[in-house]
Amino acid sequence: MFLFHLTILIYQNQVTYGKSFADVGLGQPILYINSLYRVGLAINQGSFAKAYNVGVGSSWCIAIKKIK
């Protein structure tokens, strides 16, 4: 998964796609569908936004690539 703000790469790593935070260990990132049916990116018992200074809006872009 790649996270960009404008054209700047903010985060790059393998992230588990899960249905709940139980799908990852404490402190691990997770990509999920939130209660508004939008993609959510979080850290189990933490804050992805605070950890990586992530904001909101159309200037942010997530690129997802399935790993076999």
pLDDT single digits (tens) 10-50? 999 999 999 999 999 999 999 999 999 999 999 999 999 99
Instruction: Please give the residue range of the domain that contains residue 53.
Output: 2-63
Question: What are the structure tokens assigned to 20, written together?
Answer: 């709940």
User: What is the CATH number for 29?
Assistant: 2.40.30.90
8 within some domain: yes
Q: What is the pTM of this model?
A: 0.85
Indicate the number of domains in the chain.
1
DSSP string covering 1-66? -EEEETTEEEEE---EE-SSGGGS-TT-EEEEE-TTSSEEEEETTS-HHHHHT---STTEEEE---
